[in-house]
Amino acid sequence: MEKDMINASRAHCLVFPYPAQGHINPMVEFSKRLKHKGVEVTLVTTHFISKNIQKEGNSIALETISDGYDEGGRAQAENDQTYLEHFERVGSKNLIELLEKLSRSGRPVNCIVYDPFLPWALDIAKDSELVAVAFLTQSIVVDIIYYHVSKGEMKLPLLEPEVLLPGLPPLEAQDMPSFIYKWGSHPDTFDMLLGQFSNIEKADWVLCNTVYELEQEAVDWMSKIIPMRTVGPTIPSMFLDKQLENDKDYGLSIFKPNVDACLKWLNDRSKGSVVYVSVGSMVILEVEQMQELAWGLRMSNNYFLWVVRASEEAKLPKNFVEETLEKGLVVQWCRQLEVLTHEAVGCFVTHCGWNSTLEALSFGVPMVAMPQWTDQSTNAKYITDFWKMGLKAPMDEKGLVRREGVAHCIREIMEGESGEEIKKNAFKWRKLAKEALDKGGSSDKNIEKFVANLVARSS
């Protein structure tokens, strides 16, 4: 083992995520796995993100480059297309200079693990004769859908009510990512998602934050097209396989969590009695939806811990926090993993972003799905119909989930007959997620193979 670690240390990976928390965190967690196996790792992010993250607890070396928007990041740009074009012009030059700097300092890079939202990083890796590794941060199911659209093999707008694609079960139009079933919405973001596959066939490796056993048929099909390996779930080791000692901190947080208040409150609640509610760092709910969700939580008559970002607090019903003090705690942010792994939490009301979905699966927490946009509707379909570890809250003709639907789903999971079956399935997926990362599991073996190949090419 010691000899293997020495050999691996000859390899140096530059890990380059798209500068958003949902992309940074999975790649940080993968970086820790590489470092544990002896590979030197340097994480690259933008100046703006670096200024705003909570860095404590992270052991990965960090370098920063400019995306051309050092004061405000993506928010400064007119749209995603403008941001990406400017980032490519400024960032590609800075990334090349960083590679040269690291080489001069005696730490030459052998490999770039890049986010395909930034496909030009592959070209830099190839021009520099480095191993090029794409790291996909969404599910393989969603990747297959976008892949077919990007190659012109799935025509839009959809004209048929059912979509049939290889590696996937039959899906209805509303099970597609929002950019597809709401054709024409957010065209710049949609172009960015399709752009992931513009040159991905040239990558030496394609890694994905998922579990093979979770998406087996989809992975098997995609692996015939590109050199794909599953390496997920990218979650701190101490929450699952415990191979990495004291690895409890998740990624790099852009928001300051209210950890003590959350855990103290949860510690005073009985096992499985709390509903945890969070729609992540990017979803913005309409005022009416926010109020319906609030009253739905109140109607369910369960304890609840609700993450409401500071920018969203004004949308809460008047006096809601004060009137629900006996049952609820509303916080601006928390460490989601510590909440989901707490024995008091029995249900997770979520937007079904991929990271949140993987976390709930990994910890066996049943879900109430309230998808809002992008890949969330597809994830919700799998959660409810194929993995059978949650319920989807019904939407009305306005696309809103009403309070009665929220309350019904929560009560059914927490107290109803179908909740028992959902809890059994959740426990099954928790076991499979842990086994994937355990020594000899599907993800662990794929990481081992990747490191061995990297070392062989670096020697």
| CA–CA dist 422, 391 (Å, integer) | 9
| CA–CA dist 103, 334 (Å, integer) | 39
Tell me 186's DSSP state. S
Q: Cα–Cα distances in Å, from 420 out to 390, 416, 423, 425?
A: 11, 7, 5, 9
| Contact of 432 with 211, CB cutoff 8 Å | yes
Q: Out of 67, 80, 115, 241, which one is annotated catalytic?
A: 115
Whether 23 is a known active-site residue: answer yes
Question: What is the total residue count of the chain?
Answer: 459
| Contact of 165 with 154, CB cutoff 8 Å | yes
| CA–CA dist 151, 163 (Å, integer) | 16
Of 137, 140, 144, 134, whose CA–CA distance to 213 is shortest?
140
Whether 86 is a known active-site residue: answer no
208 DSSP β-pair partners? 136, 230
Cis peptide before 371 (omega within 30 of 0): no
Q: How many CB atoms lie within 10 A of CB 258?
A: 16
CA 8 to chain centre: 28
Written as six digits, the tokens of 402 are 């009403």
| Contact of 145 with 165, CB cutoff 8 Å | yes
| Contact of 345 with 266, CB cutoff 8 Å | yes
Written as six digits, the tokens of 425 are 């399935």
Q: Out of 12, 23, 351, 408, which one is annotated catalytic?
A: 23
| Contact of 334 with 356, CB cutoff 8 Å | no
Catalytic residues: 23, 115
